[in-house]
Structure 1
Amino acid sequence: MPIPARLTPLLDQYDFARNRLAARLTGPSRDSGNGTEIAAAALTDDEYLWEPVPDCWSVRPRSSGSGPRASVLLGTGAWGRDATPAPHPEPPPFTTLAWRLGHLTELLVLRADHTVGSRTLTREDMEAAGDAATAVAAFEEGATAWRTALLDTDDKALDTMGHSRYPYGSDPEDPFIETVWWVNQELLHHGAEIALLRDLYAARRR
């Protein structure tokens, strides 16, 4: 299927942000920002779960219970991601790299499913990763699933309200092109947060 002309720049932006984050997470090098490649180590388990300030929200073994000001551990499996039903705590808890990467993976997987998949997956179906390698692999899988959904999109779908029925946002009331834009900004801003946390962790060790 030909890619609609107005989807092309959004898809290019998505690919750029995805690849840049993937390089940040896995190495062996990454773009410094000016086109120069610099060394980048793969994400470690210690860094993945690092809590830079007290009372972080993170992903945790289900056996240990939820973290400070959280009341549930989202997902299925041995690990879960800190959360609480609305209203959310104020001020918002600081979230770890693990929490942010898990959130990003979840929104990619679920939006793909609610666009071209079964349209049945929920947050409770997501398996939180307890280690860095599993989390990075899950992100790549989710990022690929969302890109595949975009490649199955024509001009009519871009204008269709509710083409994505993702239940945790305004997708059912939005034209799909707005959803595509929204996912891009989620990837851009959470990717930048993850990159900064990696920089802070490296500076801490020095």
Structure 2
Amino acid sequence: MTPPRLAPLLEQFSFACERLSGRLAGPVMDSGDGAETRTGPLTDEEYLWEPVPDCWSVRRRSEGPGPRAASLAGAGDWGRDAAPYPHPWPPPFTTVAWRLSHLSELLFVAADHTIGTRTLTRDDYAISGNAAEALAAFDTAAAAWRAALEAADEAALDTKGHCAYPHGSYDEEPFIEVVWWVNQEVLHHGAEIALLRDLYRARRG
């Protein structure tokens, strides 16, 4: 049984993920007011679209990192622009590809550090070089994190280190606060991605 404190956060997470997946995959998009707008699935061109100069994105590893990036994070033939702390300032503008990759990696690796092997890092996470693979990866990552939430009991919610995600202070926070923060990641990155879809569509008139 889902602990009462966790239930609304789990519901919020599921809703946010379903809404983001719907805005990315089409064929219709719910704007939030019950009105549906027809939209096609995210294309490779849109996935990698750089609306301003010097964006951070995902790139073929053979091409090396983009402007102001020091490395390409992740595993596979593609990587995500990255730099060690302190990060570049002002922050680089990031593409749909960068934001979706970051979000999927967070969910998948955090799930592993909650109910999995507790060994994965962001450099173990395979970066998707095209839109279709990225959408499937997000759905897989969201399902993994949802499983971690569904496995939590009341004691786990107050346990520091129940999620030991290695990038950040997750292992120093009670799990209920980690759950809240991850929801905010989905909500705000989901909103950013949705806005980029709107801008991409508007540029074509």
TM-score (normalizing by structure 2): 0.99
- Summarize deviations over 1:165-203 as a string: whole Å, max 9, x none: 001111111000000000000000000000000000001
Secondary structure at the residue paired with 1:38?
A: strand
CA deviation after TM superposition for structure 1 residue 81, in Å: 0.3
CA-atom RMSD in angstroms: 0.6
Secondary structure at the residue paired with 1:81?
A: strand
Letter in 2 for 1:165: A
Letter in 2 for 1:182: W
Which segments of structure 1 move beyond 4 Å, counting only runs of 4 or more?
A: none
Tell me the residue number matched to 1:189: 188
Tell me the residue number matched to 1:10: 9
Letter in 1 for 2:79: G
How far apart, CA to CA, are the structure 2 residues paired with 1:160 and 1:126?
26
How far apart, CA to CA, are the structure 1 residues paired with 2:194 and 2:105?
19
Letter in 1 for 2:88: P
Tell me the residue number matched to 1:45: 44
Following superposition of structure 1 onto structure 2, how do residues 1-206 of structure 1 map, counting pairs within 5 Å? 2-206=1-205
Identity of aligned residues (%): 66
CA deviation after TM superposition for structure 1 residue 37, in Å: 1.9
Secondary structure at the residue paired with 1:30?
A: strand
Letter in 1 for 2:7: T
Secondary structure at the residue paired with 2:80?
A: strand
CA deviation after TM superposition for structure 1 residue 31, in Å: 1.1
How far apart, CA to CA, are the structure 2 residues paired with 1:32 and 1:77?
35
How far apart, CA to CA, are the structure 2 residues paired with 1:39 and 1:130?
25
How far apart, CA to CA, are the structure 1 residues paired with 2:199 and 2:166?
34
What is the total number of aligned residue pairs between the two structures? 205
Structure 2 unaligned blocks of 5 or more: none
How far apart, CA to CA, are the structure 1 residues paired with 2:108 and 2:70?
24
How far apart, CA to CA, are the structure 1 residues paired with 2:16 and 2:171?
25
How far apart, CA to CA, are the structure 1 residues paired with 2:97 and 2:28?
21
CA deviation after TM superposition for structure 1 residue 35, in Å: 1.0
How far apart, CA to CA, are the structure 2 residues paired with 1:4 and 1:117?
21
CA deviation after TM superposition for structure 1 residue 75, in Å: 1.0
